[in-house]
Structure 1
Amino acid sequence: MDIRKIMALACAVGAAASAFTACDKKNKMTASVPIVEETTAKKTTEPTTTLPVETFPDYPVTYPEIEKKASGNLYEAEKAELKGAKVASDLPEFSGDGYVTAFGKEGKNSVVFEIDVPSNQHYDLSFNILSGSTVNCRLKLGDEQLTEFRTTDNKKFTYITIYGVFLTKGKQKLEFTPKDGDISLDYLKIENNTSLSDISYDAKGELVNKKAGESAKELMSFLSDNYGKYMITGQYAYGGNNSEMDLIYRTTGKYPVIRFSNFEVPDVSYDASFKEVDAAADWYLNGGISCVSWYWKSPSEKKSGIRTEETDFDISKAVTDKDIAELTEEELRELYSKGEISRECYGLLLDIDNMAGQLTSLRNRGVPVLWRPLPEGCGDWYWWGAKGADSYKWLWKLIYDRFTKYFELDNLIWIWNGQSNSAMVDKRTFDIASVDLYFSGEKDYGSRFYEEFAAVQKFTGTDKLIAISECGSVPDMDTSFRDNAVWSFFGVWYGKYVQNEKGEYNEEFTSKDALIRAYNSDGAMTLDEYRKMRGIEPSEADTTTAPEADASSAPAETTKK
């Protein structure tokens, strides 16, 4: 590591103190950066395991045999079963004898279509809907929620299609319910889906950072080689410990491969940061994969926070056209003192350098990292996306260039979690595209994630791996393979999504049976299988003599979701 870069890290506290004399001791800009450890650790085969309650058999990936047949049935809404809604014919350009309206705004009235499905296969369901405002609509197949979608607000009958819905042969009931507004529903049209075959798993796995280290290259190659063959299991851990990981093992007999965590720029003490860094390193050195997110508390001297409403920070005031990514701390401080970059810009840079110090510690221990900064960049709920796509893209590029060029962090596999084509950053600055999936009204993982997978691949291209960086419930392997939506990996959020206040497994979002079946599915890759495939499988003696974890320690509840 260049000595000037070590000095840049060490000088961060001095820069902050001189530039922000009005800040109190709790202001994060005055914090020093973590100590950079220069030792390189070797990977060990000793596991950190706990005893499972019981073991389970392997579950083969199974789903009904698919028989593709051309079809195109149209079902008029006015001829369906109406629950509270009424037939009308005042509007122009409707089909049949009328349309259905008077749904109300309480989400109680609905239309039930009885459909005759010709064969087991995937279908596209299209609704012809007129609405004067954006209305959320729920679709149920029998007694189970299928999906939710939103209408347009153009006051014209508009075709809204839900792609790739798997239906079984025979008579089925589809119930359509507007949840929060009135609309006019003309008809439902069902056609066989032809777009599933467009999904590809041919990503080459070449890292965008051409100077990436061997450990990062090897990990990316492994992910690419197994893309579409397995879904790699993952779980978020809170507070620098593995209570969630151990709970998964006690419940399913299997550990997840990926330990997800969040790094922060500390306000005062670095103890929590050191603990998180150590936990991420240990998980990798014990044979797993570490993924690190950055939910960034804004560098505001008055009101710091992650969510837009929690902070007064304005990212648009930080944007500059100056080439600052490779400047030393001294050069940056000079630009700030002369007023050539803003307080907001300088604050961002101090935090970026601080985070670089934590990731450098991992690099120096030989740890490759799945690196996910600026999550959910398409929305305005976090400050980094609150001022639009241009500011978000500028910040992403600044982080990428400073980490790869200035700090020479060659251990990062970059995950872009923008979630929308509107927030698409330069494809030369990320390796994996990911989405966060939380759906209301569904306990276990539903079957409606094909659309998300297909949409992301459409705007990122087939050369990028696609993954679920966050979810509220564990994916169902059978439906994922059936729907040709085999994500590279998934990560279930911590807190209530997996664990209750007593440290016991919480079935509110994923039933215990669904969790067991997912982790023991032939379609899922778990830690024991990953170690074996990578040639780092621990011995049987190591596994059986491992200490049992303390099940009584539950993590603090998240306020994120």
Structure 2
Amino acid sequence: MDIRKIIALAAAAGAALSALAACSKKNKITAPVPIIEESASDPTTAATTTAPVETYPDYPVTFPEIEKKESGSLYEAENGELKGGAKAATDMPDFSGDAYVTGFGSEGKASVVLEIDVPTNQHYDLSFNISSEKAVDCRIALGDKQLTVFRSKDDGKFTYITIYGVFLTKGKQKLEITPLNGDMCLDYLKIENNTSLSDISYDAKGELVNRNAGESAKELMSFLSENYGKKMLTGQYAYSGGNAELDLIYRTTGKYPVMRCSVLDVPGDSFDECFKEIDASAEWYFNGGIPCISWYWKAPSDKKSSMRTEETDFDISKAVTEEYLAELTEEEIRELYSKGNISKECYGLILDIDSMAGQLTSLKNRGVPVLWRPLPEGSGNWYWWGAQGNKPYKWLWQLIYDRFTKYFDLDNLIWVWNGQSENSVVDKRTFDIASVDLYINDEKDYGNRYYDTFAAVQKFVGTDKIIAISECGSVPDMDAAFRDNAVWSFFGVWYGKYIQDDKGEYSEEYTNKEALIRAYNSDGAITLDEYRKLRGLEEPEPTEEKKEDADE
């Protein structure tokens, strides 16, 4: 047997021994944990322990009755309220009406306010006719609530930009358009009833791409597919092997999230540090939950090891090779390296991949299925795995998938692709779930803005893939998700400032307390207690009839 496989299996055995002690603990999910900001921040304080909490009633999924009706209205920008220096002009050709509006400046202080008359409660498409010489970010607000931010074209011609599937309620309302970082010309707004929400489909069949997947992974994937479009699984990121963030949610809402999301981000020479997180993931599963692990990979560099592009000297493009490495032994790969057939960068990646396989093998040996998310946000250039474009990123994804499934026989993984772009889509035979990371600046809570994101992802990955929110800054609005037919499979709120204040208590900076309570007690959400019952780990509450029988 290849020595690297032996080392990986030995590491897995060590993790299994430590897990036995963890599994013998009482079924209580508590542990203090420091507050951090993002995955690379240092801890500053510890959170308090779990205490009894108030219980809350179930909240049914509710939203205003929708009356679908064909409609269309056009609002000329020059007829709106011009604020902060915005002014009407006629210098450009091809505009509608008497003028267009410009003079917004670049400070985000000028705007146009249009009073719109909405005929019925339903979803609409908002189309703006805009011209700009450079791409400008534009904020759209309805009353005092932000709807979305979109980016204009940069060709200097009047162009339609449409926001699809925005839910509006009947009556007169004020809609404000504010360019945030540059001037532009706004001609008009056209509002039409939306017809594309019905295109959303929840046809995922629940078959894993790894045909040799183990039974526990198959069962979990089957559960995800059966509930896709019907329920949204709750999830929360935890830090450093503890569960303080999850305990905090319990203290606040009376419910635990069903998913414990965690991050592995240690460099290749310190993989033993992963075992705390691996053990915590296993314990969460044995307590009835679902573990989700993301690999924020610190580059295998001798000089500057970091996940962030600007903080490392590692160049993934130097690692790409035509050699098929996925099923080679350590000796064979080392020989290729010694002969100069593969680079130092490529060899370093293989060593880290094999070390990570050892960590995940320990979960396989314990029968623990994992939602596995390597190479997050692959379409961006802020992490080294996406910094050199799509080709090296896709090559690395394929290498990880093939080596994990074909060489290490990791049959407990449900593969979560988080490329977030049509151009970065990897081979669809190598991932089970497509996910996006959603963070909103200067705003609390999710509303009706993410139908378009959901629809866009489904368009380029297909209806047979489950779609989820792998990271977010605030808890999704359950009512809005069902209203807008954008029911994500699950969500995972990031840790640190997104959930805790500097004393380790609940922070309302990103999600107000009432919204958190409502989300976790919504009939549209699945929490840990509900999932445990479905797995048969807890007796269901007796019916009134059974209670009467017991009393007799």
Gaps of 5+ in 1: 13-31, 541-561
- Residue 63 of structure 2: aligned partner: 63
Letter in 2 for 1:342: S
Displacement of 1:56 after TM fit?
0.7
Name which of 13, 24, 27 aligns with 1:47. Answer: 27
Asked if the contact 1:45–1:286 (Cα under 8 Å) also holds between the matched residues in 2, the reply is no
Displacement of 1:271 after TM fit?
5.0
Displacement of 1:304 after TM fit?
1.0
Out of 35-44 and 64-73, give the one that drifted further: 35-44
- Residue 426 of structure 2: aligned partner: 425
- Residue 324 of structure 2: aligned partner: 323
- Residue 534 of structure 1: aligned partner: 535
Displacement of 1:267 after TM fit?
5.5
Secondary structure at the residue paired with 2:506? coil
Displacement of 1:280 after TM fit?
0.4
Alignment of 1:273-288 (within 5 A): 273-288=274-289
Out of 289-298 and 88-97, give the one that drifted further: 88-97
Q: Within 1, Cα distance between the matches of 2:24 and 2:151?
A: 50
- Residue 259 of structure 1: aligned partner: 260
Q: Within 1, Cα distance between the matches of 2:118 and 2:124?
A: 9
Q: Residues 384, 276 of structure 1: CA spacing in aligned structure 2 closer, same or farther, 3 A cutoff?
A: same
Displacement of 1:274 after TM fit?
1.4
- Residue 400 of structure 1: aligned partner: 401
Q: Within 1, Cα distance between the matches of 2:135 and 2:411?
A: 45
Displacement of 1:193 after TM fit?
0.3
Q: Within 2, Cα distance between the matches of 1:517 and 1:225?
A: 24
Secondary structure at the residue paired with 1:385? coil
Out of 176-185 and 37-46, give the one that drifted further: 37-46
- Residue 131 of structure 2: aligned partner: 130
Q: Within 2, Cα distance between the matches of 1:210 and 1:453?
A: 27
- Residue 543 of structure 1: aligned partner: none
Q: Within 2, Cα distance between the matches of 1:463 and 1:44?
A: 40
User: CA offsets per residue over residues 408-450 of structure 1, 9 Å max, x none?
Assistant: 0000000000001010000000000000000112112232011
- Residue 352 of structure 2: aligned partner: 351
- Residue 109 of structure 1: aligned partner: 110
Q: Within 1, Cα distance between the matches of 2:467 and 2:172?
A: 35
User: CA offsets per residue over residues 283-334 of structure 1, 9 Å max, x none?
Assistant: 0011000000000000011111111101011000000011111100111000
Q: Residues 358, 157 of structure 1: CA spacing in aligned structure 2 closer, same or farther, 3 A cutoff?
A: same
Name which of 4, 8, 11 aligns with 1:8. Answer: 4
Displacement of 1:47 after TM fit?
3.0
User: CA offsets per residue over residues 89-136 of structure 1, 9 Å max, x none?
Assistant: 111111111100000001000000101000000000000000111111
Letter in 1 for 2:355: N
Q: Within 1, Cα distance between the matches of 2:207 and 2:23?
A: 24
Displacement of 1:53 after TM fit?
2.2
- Residue 520 of structure 1: aligned partner: 521
- Residue 215 of structure 2: aligned partner: 214
Secondary structure at the residue paired with 2:385? helix
Q: Residues 267, 385 of structure 1: CA spacing in aligned structure 2 closer, same or farther, 3 A cutoff?
A: closer
Q: Within 1, Cα distance between the matches of 2:290 and 2:192?
A: 42
Q: Is 2:101 the partner of 1:121?
A: no
Asked if the contact 1:9–1:354 (Cα under 8 Å) also holds between the matched residues in 2, the reply is no
Asked if the contact 2:271–2:355 (Cα under 8 Å) also holds between the matched residues in 1, the reply is no
- Residue 495 of structure 1: aligned partner: 496
Q: Is 2:443 the partner of 1:442?
A: yes
Alignment of 1:19-168 (within 5 A): 47-49=27-29, 50-83=50-83, 84-168=85-169
Displacement of 1:45 after TM fit?
11
Q: Is 2:216 the partner of 1:250?
A: no
Displacement of 1:33 after TM fit?
6.1
Alignment of 1:282-431 (within 5 A): 282-431=283-432
Secondary structure at the residue paired with 1:275? helix
Q: Within 2, Cα distance between the matches of 1:449 and 1:521?
A: 19
- The percentage of aligned residue pairs carrying the same residue is 74
Displacement of 1:268 after TM fit?
5.1
Q: Residues 223, 262 of structure 1: CA spacing in aligned structure 2 closer, same or farther, 3 A cutoff?
A: same
Letter in 2 for 1:86: K
Asked if the contact 2:267–2:297 (Cα under 8 Å) also holds between the matched residues in 1, the reply is no
Secondary structure at the residue paired with 1:304? coil
- Residue 229 of structure 1: aligned partner: 230
Q: Residues 322, 269 of structure 1: CA spacing in aligned structure 2 closer, same or farther, 3 A cutoff?
A: closer
Q: Residues 271, 211 of structure 1: CA spacing in aligned structure 2 closer, same or farther, 3 A cutoff?
A: closer
Displacement of 1:265 after TM fit?
4.2
Asked if the contact 1:47–1:287 (Cα under 8 Å) also holds between the matched residues in 2, the reply is no
Kindly report the root-mean-square deviation, in angstroms, between the aligned alpha carbons of the 2 structures. Answer: 1.9
TM-score, normalising length from structure 2? Answer: 0.91
Q: Within 1, Cα distance between the matches of 2:479 and 2:213?
A: 35
Q: Residues 491, 44 of structure 1: CA spacing in aligned structure 2 closer, same or farther, 3 A cutoff?
A: farther
Q: Within 2, Cα distance between the matches of 1:148 and 1:252?
A: 31
Q: Within 2, Cα distance between the matches of 1:174 and 1:492?
A: 30
Displacement of 1:34 after TM fit?
6.1
Letter in 2 for 1:71: S
Secondary structure at the residue paired with 1:177? strand
Asked if the contact 1:380–1:386 (Cα under 8 Å) also holds between the matched residues in 2, the reply is yes
Q: Within 2, Cα distance between the matches of 1:407 and 1:258?
A: 26
Asked if the contact 2:12–2:365 (Cα under 8 Å) also holds between the matched residues in 1, the reply is no
Displacement of 1:43 after TM fit?
8.7
Number of residue pairs aligned between Structure 1 and Structure 2: 517
User: CA offsets per residue over residues 327-346 of structure 1, 9 Å max, x none?
Assistant: 00111000000000000000
Q: Within 2, Cα distance between the matches of 1:391 and 1:169?
A: 50
- Residue 480 of structure 2: aligned partner: 479
- Residue 44 of structure 2: aligned partner: none
Displacement of 1:52 after TM fit?
3.5
Displacement of 1:156 after TM fit?
0.8
Q: Within 2, Cα distance between the matches of 1:144 and 1:104?
A: 23
Displacement of 1:227 after TM fit?
0.5
Q: Within 1, Cα distance between the matches of 2:301 and 2:270?
A: 18
- Residue 507 of structure 2: aligned partner: 506
Displacement of 1:51 after TM fit?
3.7
Asked if the contact 1:264–1:355 (Cα under 8 Å) also holds between the matched residues in 2, the reply is no
Displacement of 1:9 after TM fit?
4.0
Q: Within 2, Cα distance between the matches of 1:244 and 1:259?
A: 10
